[in-house]
Amino acid sequence: MNFHSLDYFVFLACALVGYHALARRGSLRLGFLFVASCVFYMAWNPAYIALVLFSITVDYVAGGAIAGAKDSRGKRAWLTASVVVNLGLLGTFKYFNFFARAFADTVHVFGVPISPAHLDVILPIGISFYTFESLSYTIDVYRGRIEPTRNFIRFACFITFFPHLVAGPIVRASDFLPQLDGPRRLDSKLVSEGVFLIATGLVKKIVFADYLAVNLVDRVFDDPTAYSSLEVMVGLYAYTMQIFCDFSGYTDVARGSAMLFGLRLPENFDRPYQATSPAEFWRRWHMTLSTWLRDYLYFPLGGSQVAPLRAYFNLWITVFLVGLWHGAAWTFVIYGLLHATAMVIHRYFVRRLGRGARQPDPLHLRVLKVLGTLHFVVLSRIFFRAPDVHSAFGVIRQLGAGSTALFHVTASLWWLLLAGYFAHYTPRGLFDGLRERFSMLPAPAQGVLLAGVAATLMLVATQDVVPYIYFQF
């Protein structure tokens, strides 16, 4: 059920009516929200709801057992069980076939031909997201940062809440569970902000992401030799804008939908293409994933508070796993290697130059850093987008061919790219100001503006519904 489909908004309206009708019935309200979220997930594949419920049950039991254990050995045993089950499920469904194939290829080099094992299963949608959310709960209980919830439905609502269930943002129990307590009353300002975010997300997805994908990006990656080098480069700029508008647009709709329930989800993007370094880029892009790996992997490994070589390794493995998290393919391995290596090189020079003693960069140097970081991201995403390594190098070869024709880039594509990048490089305060002004408008005026947005979306929408990119992760 795509967020930019009519089916979703019919479902959302029904869920909101039922949820708010039960505002004075706390237990029934949570039960209704849980059932509604399960129905939402089952619209994709009913069978895999059992996997979600199994993961929820394991971590609910593990959380209570960790808190009730009499010694550290018992706590570690239950935490280990939670980690093994969650990562075991993720590894089996998402990575088993890839690593089995890689092992078979490796031993074949040494003259031992074997047929790799293969699991004929569909990747459960959202498994990378809800696995990390569920794991954060048991880890935080083990660390003593939160108390385990004794209400199974309350915990299940945290994991299955449908706006963030299939593609994030990755939510922490410490942030979300307290919001489920107490009566939830409709807050007109929060509702207005939510509606504004939903409208913004739909514009990003339908006007920008889908149009760029259908009219340029998909064509360039399907057959790069049919395009000039300059057109391929424009296609890479278009994909860079497409993936931002697609994923941040999804997040906007998710956050806006949650606000209609009186709930808040964390931000996931902060104008990432304004970053001046790879490190700043990952602080601005998919922030809930970056901070999750920082808090639950990088810091436990010792972070930067260890010997220099170990600190570089900690940083490298963390960023490499950011890349591999996205998918089980050699393209994502290379993508992770590129970003992990760039982060280590950046850290090395920052330490050599003495970051603390430096003055703020002059404007021209900052612009050069932004452009350098942007183009590193643009070029590295060849491996993110290409279906396989061979196709990725096909794009790279065509990019280096030196041809300069621009016959396939229409005026509408140019204007859309310019508008997307211009909006991205405007100050954040401008968008926040627009949201505040919209929230202060009377309801009829808001309705007129939303009707105008809806009419625009209907005019420019592609005939086929284009799935969100991050649904595959």
Q: Tell me the C-alpha to C-alpha distance, in Å, between residue 4 and each of 95, 201, 254, 374.
A: 30, 9, 11, 28
The dihedral formed by the CA atoms of 337, 468, 423 and 264, expressed in degrees to the nearest 10: -100
Sequence-distant (≥ 6) Cβ neighbours of residue 63 within 8 angstroms: 82, 137, 138, 141, 148, 149, 155
pLDDT of residue 106: 78
In the chain, % of residues over pLDDT 90:
64
Q: Using pLDDT thresholds of 50, 70 and 90, give the confidence band for residue 118.
A: confident
Q: Does the pLDDT of residue 444 top 90, yes or no?
A: no
Q: State the residue for tokens 């569909």.
A: 122
The tens digit of pLDDT for each residue in 298-351 reads 999 998 888 989 999 999 999 999 988 888 889 999 999 999 999 999 999 888
Three-state DSSP at 169 gives coil
Higher local confidence (pLDDT), 368 or 446: 368
Q: Extract the tokens encoding 387.
A: 């279906």
pLDDT of residue 222: 93
Phi-psi region of 124 (alpha: psi -120 to 50; beta: other; left: phi over 0): beta
Question: Residues 16, 243, 90, CA angle at the centre, nearest 5°?
Answer: 70
What would the mean pLDDT of 45-73 be, rounded to a whole number?
92
> Taking the mean position of all CA atoms in its chain, how far away is CA 448?
32
The tens digit of pLDDT for each residue in 122-167 reads 888 889 999 999 999 999 999 999 999 999 999 999 999 999 998 8
Q: State the residue for tokens 């039922």.
A: 18
Cβ neighbours around 160 below 10 Å, total: 24
How is the chain split into domains, by residue range?
Answer: 6-185, 189-276+361-472
Q: Does the pLDDT of residue 356 top 70, yes or no?
A: no
Do residues 164 and 255 touch, judged by C-beta distance below 8 A? no
Q: Does the pLDDT of residue 446 top 60, yes or no?
A: yes
Q: Using pLDDT thresholds of 50, 70 and 90, give the confidence band for residue 372.
A: very high
pLDDT of residue 355: 54
pLDDT of residue 187: 81
Do residues 384 and 391 touch, judged by C-beta distance below 8 A? no
Q: Is 427 exposed, middle or buried (0-12, 13-18, 19+ CB in 10 A)?
A: exposed
The tens digit of pLDDT for each residue in 384-423 reads 999 999 999 999 999 999 898 888 999 999 999 999 999 9
Containing 97, the helix (H) or strand (E) segment is: helix 96-109
pLDDT of residue 113: 77
Average pLDDT, the chain: 90
Q: Using pLDDT thresholds of 50, 70 and 90, give the confidence band for residue 184.
A: low
Active-site residue set: 326
Q: Does the pLDDT of residue 66 top 90, yes or no?
A: yes
Q: Extract the tokens encoding 212.
A: 């760029």
How many angstroms separate the CA atoms of 9 and 19, rounded?
15
pLDDT of residue 183: 66
pLDDT of residue 410: 92
Q: Does the pLDDT of residue 228 top 90, yes or no?
A: yes
Q: Using pLDDT thresholds of 50, 70 and 90, give the confidence band for residue 75.
A: very high
pLDDT of residue 87: 93
pLDDT of residue 264: 93
Crossing angle of the two packed helices 127-143 and 152-160, in degrees rounded to 10 = 140
The tens digit of pLDDT for each residue in 23-52 reads 878 789 999 999 999 999 999 889 899 999
Query: Global pTM?
Result: 0.92
Three-state DSSP at 309 gives helix
Q: Is 83 exposed, middle or buried (0-12, 13-18, 19+ CB in 10 A)?
A: middle
pLDDT of residue 439: 84
The tens digit of pLDDT for each residue in 270-289 reads 999 999 999 999 999 999 99
Q: Which stretches of 386-427 are DSSP H helices?
A: 389-399, 411-424
> Taking the mean position of all CA atoms in its chain, how far away is CA 16?
25
